Chain A
Amino acid sequence: MITIKNRSYVAALGLLFVSTTWNLFGDPKADGKAVTNSGSTGSSDSYMGLTGEQLWSNNCSRCHNIQPPARYSEAQWDVIVHHMRLRANITGQEQRAIVEFLKSAR
C-alpha cells in the first residue's frame, strides 16, 4: 500500500518529469499557435488567443479522436458541443468558438 507521503513524492516527480520533457517531445505547432492540418481557415472568433479550430483540437483530443466537421450537420454540432461543454468543463465562449469553427469548416 502506498503511503500518502510516497504519493506526494510520486505526484511531484511526475509533474517534474512532464514539465522538463514537455518541449523535448512537444510539437511547437500543436499548442494552439498554428493551423492544424484540416486545411480550413478556421473561425474568426477567438478565446484566450486561441481560434475555434485550436480550441476544438485542444479540448476534444484530450479525451478522444476528433471527429471531422463534415460528420455532423450544423444542428447536430450545436447539440453535441452544447452537451460536451458540460462534460469537458469548457466555458460558454469556448463552446461558441468551437461551434462556429465546426460550422465554417463543414
Chain B
Amino acid sequence: MKIYRCYPAAIIQAALLTLSAHGQDTTTDGYVTRKEYDELKAELLAMKKELDALKKEGAGAPKRENSESHAVVSTSPKQEVPETQVVGDSGKAVAPALGRTVSDSLGSLLGTTKFLLAGWAEGMFEARNGQVSTFSASFNPIFLWELTPKLLFDSRLEIEPSGGGTNVNLVNAQLSYLLNDYMALGVGEFFSPSNVFVERFEPQWINKLPDRPIGVYHGILPNISVGAQVRGGFPIGPTRANYAFYVSNGPVLNTFDARSAGTLDFNSYTDNNDNKAVGGRVGFLPIPGVEVGYGFETSKPGFQGTTFSDLQALVQSVDLQITRDSDLLRGRINLFAQYAWSHVDHAVYDPDGSLGFGPLAFTSKQDGGYAELAYRPTKVDIDFIRNLELIFRWDHLSRDPSGLGDPWETRWTLGLNYWLSPSTVVKAAYEWDKPNGEPNRNALFIQTAMGF
C-alpha cells in the first residue's frame, strides 16, 4: 500500500519538475507572461483534479501515524501551487511557488524527510602579537536524524586541516528520547548544559565574534560531557522555566605540574574513578527574550586509589541572556553573559617533592566568564546598514589555584560583522589581550562563516 500511495506523489513531482523547467525556459526576465501564467494555472488545476481522483482511489488505505509516512506523503498536496498565490493579479507569484515546489520535490526524492545534514563552515585569518599570523578553516557537519517522532539522534564532527593532515574530531553524539511534552532523556556525548555558550552559541555562524570567550570555553566549565541527561521546559503561569540534569564521567584533577595543579581537566572523556559527576542547569524566563540561569557540577576528580580520590570539586555558574527589539534604538540588542567559579577541596600536591614543585598545599579556586553586547540596526531602511552588527565583549579567566603566580587574563574585543544572509557572516574584530606578567597578545581577526 505504501508503494501504491507513492505513485500520485511521484507523478505530480515529475510533472511539476517539467512544468518548472518549462516556466524557466519561457521567461525572459524572471517573470512569466499572462498567457503562460494562464496555461500553467490550467495545467495545475487539471493535475489537481487528477490528484483528487487518485486520492479517492487510495482512500481505503489506513492512515499511518508515524512521521515517516507523514513526511513523505504529506508533501504531495504541497506540490500544488497554493491558491492564494495563484489567484493574485500578477504572474510574479508563480516563479517562487514553483521554486519551492522543486525544493520540496528534491527534498523528498533525496530522503531528507527523516535525516538532515546541517552544520557550518568557516575560514579565518588571525594575526596575534608574538605569534605567526595564520589562516585556518574548518567544516563542521551536524547529522540530525529523527528515527521516530520520539527518538532522535544528533552528532557533530569537526574537520580541520592541521600540520600535514586533517583532524577529524567527534564533538558530540547523543541519542534522545522524548518522554512527554516536558521531559526528554539523552544518552551519549553531549554539550554540557551548564555551559550556555557551548550549548547555544558555539557554531561560528551564531557566535558573533571570531574567537570564543576564555573562562567558559575550555576554561572553568565543562564543554562536553559523556553520560546521560534529562531535560525539558515547562510553563509557570505566564513565565517559563527549563532544566537539564546529568550524570557524567566528570573531570580529571591535574596534579603533575605546578602551573596546572589543582585545576580540572574537562577534556578527558574517559573516567578515572567510579564516582560520577552530577550537574545541571535551571533557567527561568520571566518575560520573552530574557533568561537567567544557574548551573553546577559536583564531582570527585582525583584518580582512584590516590590521595586525591576523596577530594570534592564544585563548579558553579550564573548566566544571563537578553534579546530585545528596540524601536528607540531602531534595532536588535543581544546581551549574553556567564560567570563561573570552581572550588576543589584542600590538598597537598607533590607531597614528597618528587615532581619538583612540592609539597604544595592549597585549596584550588578559579573563576572566569564573559559579557557580550551586540547591536544590529535591523529597523533601519538602508540594506547595507541593516546588515551590519557591532559587538563588544569582555572576557576573563583567573586560574591561579596554586598561588605560585598570578596568571589571570582579561580581554576586550570589539567586532564588526556584515551579514550576507541570515546564516552567512563576515566578521572583523580586534582583541586587546594582556595576560598578567606577559607581553600583550593583541589580535586581529577576519573570519567568514556560513551555516547550512
- Please give the residue numbers on chain A whose beta carbons come within 8 Å of chain B beta carbons, in ascending order: 1-2, 4, 7, 11, 14-15, 18, 22, 24-27, 30-32, 48-50, 58, 61-68, 70, 73-76, 78-80, 82-83, 85-94, 106
A85 and B326 alpha carbons, distance in the complex (Å): 27
Query: Is the pair B67, A73 in contact by a Cβ cutoff of 8 Å?
Result: no
**Contacts A48-B235, A74-B71, A92-B182; A62 near B291 (Cβ below 8 A):** yes
A74 and B244 alpha carbons, distance in the complex (Å): 29
Interface residues as binary, B278-306 with A (CB distance below 8 Å gives 1, 0 otherwise): 00000100011111100000000000000
CB-defined contacts of A14 to chain B, threshold 8 Å: 320, 337
CB-defined contacts of B100 to chain A, threshold 8 Å: 70, 106
A9 and B329 alpha carbons, distance in the complex (Å): 28
CB-defined contacts of A106 to chain B, threshold 8 Å: 100
Tell which of B121-129, B173-181, B219-227, B354-362 binds the partner: B173-181
Query: Is the pair B107, A64 in contact by a Cβ cutoff of 8 Å?
Result: no
A99 and B108 alpha carbons, distance in the complex (Å): 18
Interface range on chain B (Cβ under 8 Å from partner): 35 or more
Q: Which of A15, A31, A49, A89 is close to B231, meaning CB atoms less than 8 Å apart? A: A89
Query: Is the pair A67, B423 in contact by a Cβ cutoff of 8 Å?
Result: yes
Write the chain B residue with the least CB distance to A33. Answer: B288
User: Can you list 10 contacts pairing A with B, beta carbon distance less than 8 Å?
Assistant: A1-B365, A11-B320, A18-B322, A27-B324, A70-B100, A73-B112, A79-B112, A83-B144, A91-B234, A92-B181
Tell which of B10-18, B157-165, B197-205 binds the partner: B197-205
Interface residues as binary, B84-100 with A (CB distance below 8 Å gives 1, 0 otherwise): 00000000000010001
> Any chain A CB within 8 A of the CB of B214?
no
CB-defined contacts of A91 to chain B, threshold 8 Å: 181-182, 232-235
Task: List residues 181-232 of chain B with CB under 8 A from any CB of chain A.
Answer: 181-182, 184, 186, 199-201, 205-206, 231-232
CB distance from A42 to the nearest CB of B (A): 14
CB-defined contacts of A48 to chain B, threshold 8 Å: 235, 238, 240
Q: Which of B96, B154, B337 is close to A83, meaning CB atoms less than 8 Å apart? A: B154
CB-defined contacts of A74 to chain B, threshold 8 Å: 71, 74-75, 78, 104
Query: Is the pair B318, A7 in contact by a Cβ cutoff of 8 Å?
Result: yes
Query: Is the pair B419, A65 in contact by a Cβ cutoff of 8 Å?
Result: yes
Query: Is the pair B288, A83 in contact by a Cβ cutoff of 8 Å?
Result: no
Across chains A and B, the number of contacting residue pairs, with CB separation under 8 Å, is 150
CB-defined contacts of A49 to chain B, threshold 8 Å: 238
A48-B235, A79-B116 given; 19 more Cβ-contact pairs under 8 Å: A7-B318, A14-B337, A25-B326, A31-B288, A48-B238, A58-B289, A63-B201, A68-B422, A73-B103, A75-B113, A75-B114, A76-B107, A78-B71, A79-B113, A79-B115, A85-B178, A88-B233, A89-B231, A89-B232
Query: Is the pair A24, B154 in contact by a Cβ cutoff of 8 Å?
Result: no
CB-defined contacts of B242 to chain A, threshold 8 Å: 89-90
Query: Is the pair B233, A86 in contact by a Cβ cutoff of 8 Å?
Result: no
**Contacts A31-B289, A86-B186; A92 near B146 (Cβ below 8 A):** no
> Any chain A CB within 8 A of the CB of B367?
yes
Query: Is the pair A92, B243 in contact by a Cβ cutoff of 8 Å?
Result: no
> Any chain A CB within 8 A of the CB of B333?
yes
**Contacts A32-B288, A75-B107, A89-B232; A24 near B205 (Cβ below 8 A):** no
CB-defined contacts of B325 to chain A, threshold 8 Å: 26-27, 30
A32 and B329 alpha carbons, distance in the complex (Å): 19
A15 and B74 alpha carbons, distance in the complex (Å): 47
Write the chain A residue with the least CB distance to B281. Answer: A89
> Any chain A CB within 8 A of the CB of B339?
yes
Query: Is the pair B324, A26 in contact by a Cβ cutoff of 8 Å?
Result: yes
A88 and B234 alpha carbons, distance in the complex (Å): 12
Write the chain B residue with the least CB distance to A2. Answer: B367
Query: Is the pair A27, B112 in contact by a Cβ cutoff of 8 Å?
Result: no
A42 and B332 alpha carbons, distance in the complex (Å): 22
Query: Is the pair A82, B146 in contact by a Cβ cutoff of 8 Å?
Result: yes
> Any chain A CB within 8 A of the CB of B118?
yes
Query: Is the pair B326, A92 in contact by a Cβ cutoff of 8 Å?
Result: no
CB distance from A55 to the nearest CB of B (A): 9
> Any chain A CB within 8 A of the CB of B398?
yes
Write the chain B residue with the least CB distance to A8. Answer: B318
CB distance from B446 to the nearest CB of A (A): 20
Query: Is the pair A11, B116 in contact by a Cβ cutoff of 8 Å?
Result: no
**Contacts A73-B112, A82-B152; A90 near B288 (Cβ below 8 A):** no
CB distance from B166 to the nearest CB of A (A): 27
Task: List residues 100-148 of chain B with CB under 8 A from any CB of chain A.
Answer: 100, 103-104, 107-108, 112-116, 118, 144-146
> Any chain A CB within 8 A of the CB of B52?
no
CB-defined contacts of A67 to chain B, threshold 8 Å: 422-423
> Any chain A CB within 8 A of the CB of B38?
no
> Any chain A CB within 8 A of the CB of B1?
no
> Any chain A CB within 8 A of the CB of B323?
yes
CB-defined contacts of B184 to chain A, threshold 8 Å: 85-86
A87 and B103 alpha carbons, distance in the complex (Å): 27
CB-defined contacts of A26 to chain B, threshold 8 Å: 324-326
